[in-house]
Amino acid sequence: MKTKIILETLVLAAALTATQAGAAPISLQGSTITGTYNGSAEGMLGLDHLFQPEPGSNITTIDPNGYEEVEFLSADTLFAFDFSATGRLTVTLNALEAPLGNYRALFDFGSGLAQRIGSFTLDDTSGIGTLPVLSVINEHAIAIDLSTVTWNDAFSGFSAQIGAAAEVPEPGSAGLALAGLAGLALARRRKSAAQR
């Protein structure tokens, strides 16, 4: 009986921890993004510089008014990268086809990002045949490899969602939750013993 109560308490604690670990949408509103393309700052052209190849053109901000505008073009103009304030990235092939080659982009939102990045997952893949490789580099940067992507049509695309890292509960709140679960288990045990 004692073992059963302890096991039930552990299962409830694990369920509580699992619900706290779910990823939530991230807010990119007002973020400044630094992009590189195939490891080069010159390979990415930003909206704030009207997509002109000049020093710093790989840095741009998300439009604070919420207009849906492309934030970056690759310098070879093959790809357009559009971020939304809710963390959605839409990548569009900006040509009739993409020749074989290495196509890697990295986007860093800097330490000023309000939330930590915890996930980067595909959202809508209807415009592509094979999938890109998505990576979370650290708590404020993501990478995408388009080298293996096959595009269904000219000017087709896909989208991916950036998610916030789960908040880590304070040690005190986890302790209180476990103490409460232990109290419930003890009350159940006493009730069971009284019914005998």
Distance CA 5, CA 75 (A): 63
Same domain, 107 and 181: no
Q: What is the pLDDT of residues 101-140, one digit of tens each?
A: 999 999 999 988 889 999 999 999 999 999 999 999 999 9
> Which residue range(s) make up the domain with 91?
24-164
Q: What is the structure's pLDDT at 100?
A: 86
Report residue 170 as tokens.
């304070």
Same domain, 42 and 9: no
The residue assigned the tokens 């004692």 is 2
Q: What is the pLDDT of residues 129-181, one digit of tens each?
A: 999 999 999 999 999 999 999 999 999 999 999 999 987 655 555 565 666 66
Same domain, 173 and 123: no
Mapped onto helix, strand or coil, the DSSP state of residue 6 is helix
Same domain, 65 and 131: yes
125 forms bridges with which residues in the sheet? Answer: none
- List, as one string, the DSSP characters of 79-132: EEEEE-TTSEEEEEE-SS---SS--EEEEE--TT-SS-EEEEEEEE-TTEEEPP
Same domain, 12 and 60: no
Same domain, 175 and 154: no
Q: What is the structure's pLDDT at 130?
A: 95
Same domain, 179 and 112: no
Same domain, 80 and 174: no
